[in-house]
Structure 1
Amino acid sequence: MPAPVRLPADIVQRLVDAGLDADHVHAVIHAALQEDRGGGVDVTSVAVVPADQRAVADVVARAAGVIAGLPIAAATFVVAGDDQVEVEFLAADGEQVPAGARLLTVSGPARSLLTAERTALNFLAHLSGIATATARWVAEIAGTGAVIRDTRKTTPGLRMLEKYAVRCGGGENHRMSLADAALIKDNHIMAAGGISEAFARVRAMFPEVPVEVECDTLPQVAEAVRAGAQLVLLDNMPPAMVRQAVAMVRDLGAAGRCRLEVSGGLTLAQARAVAETGVQYLAVGSITHSAPVLDVGLDFRAVGSGPPAVG
């Protein structure tokens, strides 16, 4: 089990403000650092860097993008440095930064900074990549009234962080877990013998839970709307069919009750055309499962002298 959270109050507050649980973040960081240490020590840094040497380093964006994960990266340096690392925030999550922008300044034992470097940058690069990809989608459909949402296609163990990065990019989160809402998909429909029966079973057992139904044909959309679905997922439908589904919901008198979400093979090039059909959401799995990392690095700019390492 991870040791108790040993994070400065300002970092904890930043995590709380981001909607993240500090204990969860600490556990993820602890596991990542343990993985990188491999049950031993950072043999390069222990051999090369004097034990009492201190350093000041900057975390720098090598490419332009939207930043996400600064409190997580900062916490990684602090945890690896056993509270001997100090952090100065020079940017904020959700901020669009140019290439070359300094994001954090960290100071403390040089060995600790080097040991934490890759883990901290992995978090920051990955989450900033998600935020940057999300921001591109959000910009593409600006003014349409539609919203970009994520999916559960996330890295196991990192869902809370990745969905936070989506929010930093201007997107919204779909359900965080299987317990948050019901999503009746094709296999559920087959198991129940139909949409209406599947919907009725969910509503009977979990009357307060929002229910979404996945549909790939217009007759299914009509059945889902009549059953009382609050959200219908239009799966792999071309824009022309999506427009028909929007009109169908309106004609059935459910426009204010039932929202529509489009999913399945969406590309950035077609995003605006889909958003302009009148749907409320575009569900984009690629913003989490396929976002390129944002290039970030760590540069030492001051190193204090110390005696040679022993052993």
Structure 2
Amino acid sequence: MLISDIEHYLQEDLGFNDVSCTLVPDMEVHAVIFAKEDCTLAGLDIARSFFDYLGINAETEYDQGNTIREGDVIFSLRGSSVSILRAERVVLNFLGHLCGIATLTRKCVNIVRNFSDAKIACTRKTTPGIREHEKMAVIAGGGDPHRFNLSDAVMIKDNHIKMMGIESAVGSARKRASFTQKIEVEVESTEDALLAARLGADIIMLDNMDPGTVIETMAALKKASVPENIVIEVSGGIGPENLEEYAKTGVHVISMGSLIHQARWVDISLEFLS
């Protein structure tokens, strides 16, 4: 994390008259950060950035993506009591949020693995300012980050199609996109999926289709001898409760905005030992 970002987050939390953290004697102390529930770890690098900036020695035996149990110590800390108090809330907020995303992602990946090799991916439905960290948490949970931003790939969505039509939109994308950028087309019907395939889309997203319609569309694409290198993705209204049905459809990618915007924070705490 950039020093400017670290300072911004600390300033947001500390303000200009931090009496709370300076009430205690500034002395060398030992503290631990521990999980109060089972979870998958993410955000360890961010936590360490704050500890390094504040001169706190932080030791951990874990890596990103490790699964830990309730009561496990994530970090053992030694340093200034004032500095540890000042790092506490910002670090716990990042860890709680990002471990929540990683934990939900791991749960979804495990559900899908029982039925297929489909990738579980997130979307651009992220918190402004911390997208990079949220997507890295998805990776820690075993998921795929999808596009980090609009420049990573060209996605032709429903509003593009309403204004231009699929043919014009794909044609324009072919002219303007770099050879390194894949072109993805979002479709809502089997007919449009077949059209997108004929137009040479690299990725076809089946948007807001129920599992039965997805199966029918996959069969139609196979019957039409669509090239095997075309990636078929499904998205829209998918969560842990219906993920199993989508995992059985044969798609290559299942993208879920819920990995981030419905992830519950993990309960993580800090305690002084001496």
Matched with 2:58 is 87
In structure 2, the residue matched to 1:167 is: 139
Residue 267 of structure 1 deviates from its aligned partner by: 2.1
Where does the alignment leave 5 or more consecutive residues of structure 1 unmatched? 1-21, 303-311
Counterpart of 2:238 (choices 266, 273, 280) is 266
Q: Is the 8 A contact 1:121 1:297 kept in 2?
A: yes
Letter in 2 for 1:71: D
Q: Return 5+ residue gaps in structure 2 as ranges.
A: none
Aligned mate of 1:50, from 18, 21, 25: 25
Aligned mates of 2:196, 2:5 — CA distance in 1: 39
- Who is 1:74 aligned against? 48
Stretches (4+) displaced over 3 A? none
Report the CA distance between 1:276 and its aligned residue: 1.1
Q: Would you say the 8 A contact 1:90–1:105 is kept in 2?
A: no
Instruction: Return the offset for 1:42.
Output: 2.3
Amino acid at match of 1:246: M
Letter in 2 for 1:166: V
Match of 1:128 in 2: 99
CA offset digits 1:146-182 (Å, max 9, x no partner): 1100100111111111111001101011011100101
Aligned twin of 1:13: none
Mapped partners of 1:202, 1:121: distance in 2: 43
Identity of aligned residues (%): 37
Per-residue CA deviations over 1:73-95 (Å, capped at 9, x if unaligned) read: 1221222x2xx311111322101
Deviations 1:53-83 (A, max 9, x none): 121100000110101011211221222x2xx
C-alpha root-mean-square deviation of aligned residues, in Å? Answer: 1.2
| Residue aligning to 2:14 | 37
Q: Give yes or no for the alignment of 1:252 onto 2:227.
A: no
Matches within 5 A, 1:205-220: 205-208=176-179, 209-220=181-192
Counterpart of 2:37? Answer: 63
Q: Answer with 137-146 or 94-103: which moved more.
A: 137-146
Q: TM-score, normalised by structure 2?
A: 0.96
**SS in structure 1 of the partner of residue 139 of structure 2:** helix
Corresponding residue SS for 1:291: coil
1:76-115 counterparts in 2 under 5 A? 76-79=50-53, 81=54, 84-115=55-86
Residue equivalent to 2:4: 27
SS of aligned partner of 1:176? coil
Once residues 270 and 188 of structure 1 are traced to their aligned partners in structure 2, the CA distance between those partners, rounded to angstroms, is: 29
